Amino acid sequence: MGARTGQQYLDRLAATRPHVEINGETVTENIPGHPAFAGITRTYAELFDMQHAPETRDALTYTSPTSGDPVGTSFLVPRTAEDLLLRREGFKTWADFSLGTLGRTGDYLNSSLMALSQAEPWFAQADPRFGENIRRYYEKVREEDLLTTHTLIPPQINRSAGAGQEVDGRALSAHVVSEDDNGIVVRGARMLATIGPIADELLVFPSTVLRNVPEDAPYAFAFAINCDAPGLRFICREGIDYGRDHPLGGRFDEIDAVVVFDDVHVPWERVFLLRNPDLTNAFYSDTSAVVHMTHQVVTRTTAKMESILGLLTLLTEAIGIEKFQHIQVDIAEAITTVGILHGLLRAAEADATVNDYGVLTPAWEPLNTARNWFPKLYGRFPEMLRKFGASGLMALPTEGDITGSAGQDISDYLQSATLTGAERVRLFRLAWDLSASAFAGRQTLYEYYFFGDPVRMSGALIGATDREPYRERVSAFLDRITEPAVTA
Ligand SMILES: Cc1cc2nc3c(=O)[nH]c(=O)nc-3n(C[C@H](O)[C@H](O)[C@H](O)COP(=O)(O)OP(=O)(O)OC[C@H]3O[C@@H](n4cnc5c(N)ncnc54)[C@H](O)[C@@H]3O)c2cc1C
C-alpha cells in the first residue's frame, strides 16, 4: 500500500473497535466521527494527504526498497548525508504545518522503529525471534503507513517506590503475568499515551531504569499492540478542542490518555524484548533509536521556535513596541535560540557517523545538548508572548463578532499600527493560543517533560559526560601557576 491518504487513515480508524473513555462516555466505534476526535483526526488526515500533494510529496516520501511504493521519509534508513537531510526535510515539512505544536506526527516513532529494526542482532542476542520480530514490525508499519504512539512510564502512584510496587497486594504498573505458546499476557497500567485513541498502534516500550533482579523482570519488556486489542482501554483527559476560533487548540489537540491493560494478550510476533532488565535499560541507547528520535524532535522544536520568532515579530510590529529595549532583549533571546537550534542540528548532521548496524547516525552531543537545554527554556517564549500581548490577549472577539454586528467597532477600535481590526484579532488569538489558553498550558507542560523529567535527565547527563579532560586542564593550570614554596 505505501504512504496512505487522509481518507485511508480515517477509514481504517473508523473500522476499528477500541475501548476509549472520555467525559464519562465509552466510545467503541467510529472514532473520527466522534466530536472529541473529529478535529484532530481531520488534522492527521491532512498530514497523510501531504504525502501525496505535489508540493510536499518529495520531502515526505521515498521509494520502498521492498514494494517500490512511495513510503514515508521517516522510514528511510540513512546511509548518506543526503539521506539524513531528506529525513530532516520530511520532519520539517510536517512540523511547519502545525507551527511545531504537534508532538506525535508519525515521523517521531517511525524514526525510532527505523533505528530499532536495523539493530536486529542486538534484539537477537536475547532471542533470535525478537530480532526478526522488530524488523518485520518496522516493515509492516512502513508498508501499511500505520500511525503509532507509545506509552512508557508507570502510573504516578508513589515515585519513591520501585517498579514492582504493590497496593493492597496488587501490582498496578503494566507487567507480564503469563506466557504461553501464543504470546504474553499484560496486566496493569501505563500513565499516558498521547494520541492513543486516534493511533493505529501502541508501542509499549521501556523508559524507567530497572534493576537486574527477579522482581523487576516482569516489568522489562518491549512490545507493540494494535490500539483496539481486546482488554486495552484508553481513559482520556478532557478535550481542549473548543472549535476553530482557537487556531491551535481547534486543530491540534493531541488528546492524552491513561492506558489500562486488562489482561491484554500480545502475540509473540509483536514481542521485541522480555524479562531482561539490562537490555531493556539499554534499548534506546544501544540501538541509536534515541538519536534518530531526537533528530526529529529537535527539527520540530526548531520549527516551533522559528514560528514563535515570527509571531513575536508580527506582534511587536502590530502595536509598535519593537523599539522598547526590554522587548528587544526578549526578541534577541528568541533569535539566538533559533540560531543555537540551527547550529545544533547542522552540527549533529555534519558529524554523523555510521553506527554498529550500518546506519548513518547524527552526532549525539549536539542533539543531547538540545534535548537537555530546550525543555527548560521553552517556558520563556509563552511568557514573552503574554508580556508583549498584554490586554490584547484578552480583547479577542470571535469570528462571529468580526462578521456580525460588532464588525464596525472591531474595525475601528481593534485596528493596530499595521493591521486591520480583523487581522489584529486573528494574530492576537494565535498568540493567546500559544501562551495563555488551555492548549498553551498543555504545550508548556509537554515541552518541559517531552524527554522525561529534566531533573533526572540532568543527573544522567552528568553521569554520561566525560569531564576528565577539562578537570585535568584546570588542575594542570593550577599546578603551573602555583609557585614552589621558597625555603630559607
Ligand atoms: C502533555 C504530555 C504528554 C505526554 N505524552 C506521553 C506519551 O505519549 N507517552 C508517554 O509514555 N509519556 C507521555 N508523557 C509523560 C512524560 O514522559 C512524563 O511526564 C515524564 O517522563 C515525567 O514523568 P512523570 O510525569 O511521571 O513525573 P514524575 O516522575 O511523577 O515526577 C513528578 C515530580 O517529582 C519529581 N521526581 C519524581 N521522582 C523523582 C526522583 N527519583 N528524583 C528526583 N525528582 C523526582 C520530578 O522532578 C517532578 O518534579 C506525557 C507528558 C505530558 C505532560
Cell reading at 192: 499516558
Q: Which atom of ligand 1 is nearest to the CA of 455?
A: 47
Contact 360, 79 (CB under 8 A): yes
Cα–Cα distance measured from residue 431 to residue 315, given in angstroms and rounded to the nearest whole number: 8
Going by C-alpha positions, the residue among 331, 332, 344 that lies closest to residue 302 is 344
Q: Which residues of 361-373 are buried (b: 16+ CB within 10 A; e: fewer)?
A: bbbbebbbbbbeb
In short, whether 437's Cβ falls inside 6 Å of ligand 1 is: no
Q: Which domains, ranges and CATH numbers included, belong to the chain?
A: 285-471 (1.20.140.10)
Q: How many CB atoms neighbour CB 44 within 10 A?
A: 26
DSSP state of 270: G
Cell reading at 167: 497496593
Cell reading at 107: 515521523
* pLDDT at residue number 164: 81
Q: Which one of 40, 108, 152, 192 would you pick to mutate in the ligand 1 pocket, going by the greatest count of ligand atoms within 8 A of its CB? A: 192
Regions in the chain scoring below 50 on pLDDT? none
* pLDDT at residue number 165: 83
Whole-number average pLDDT of the chain: 96
Specify the residue with its C-alpha closest to ligand 1, atom 53. 446
Backbone angles phi, psi at 437, to 5 degrees: -85, 175
Cα–Cα distance measured from residue 401 to residue 406, given in angstroms and rounded to the nearest whole number: 5
Amino acid at 52: H
Return the biggest CA–CA distance within the chain. 98
Give this prediction's pTM. Answer: 0.96
* pLDDT at residue number 486: 67
Q: Which one of 147, 159, 462 would you pick to mutate in the ligand 1 pocket, going by the greatest count of ligand atoms within 8 A of its CB? A: 159
**Judging by DSSP bridges, how do beta strands 232-236 and 256-267 pair with one another?**
antiparallel
In short, whether 194's Cβ falls inside 6 Å of ligand 1 is: yes
Query: Which residue's entry shows cell 555510521?
Result: 354
* pLDDT at residue number 343: 98
State the number of CA atoms in the 13 A half-sphere of 254 facing the CB.
Answer: 20
Report the separation in Å between the CA atom of 335 and the middle of ligand 1, taken as the mean of its atom positions.
29
Q: How many CB atoms neighbour CB 115 within 10 A?
A: 25
Cα–Cα distance measured from residue 378 to residue 300, given in angstroms and rounded to the nearest whole number: 13
Count Cβ atoms within 10 A of the Cβ of residue 302 and give its class: 0-12 exposed, 13-18 middle, 19 or more buried: buried
Cα–Cα distance measured from residue 340 to residue 377, given in angstroms and rounded to the nearest whole number: 12
Report the separation in Å between the CA atom of 414 and the middle of ligand 1, taken as the mean of its atom positions.
41
Report the separation in Å between the CA atom of 450 and the middle of ligand 1, taken as the mean of its atom positions.
9
Cell reading at 9: 487513515
Cα–Cα distance measured from residue 34 to residue 29, given in angstroms and rounded to the nearest whole number: 9
In short, whether 148's Cβ falls inside 6 Å of ligand 1 is: no
Cell reading at 201: 498502534
Cα–Cα distance measured from residue 109 to residue 203, given in angstroms and rounded to the nearest whole number: 9
Cell reading at 279: 537490555
In short, whether 160's Cβ falls inside 6 Å of ligand 1 is: no
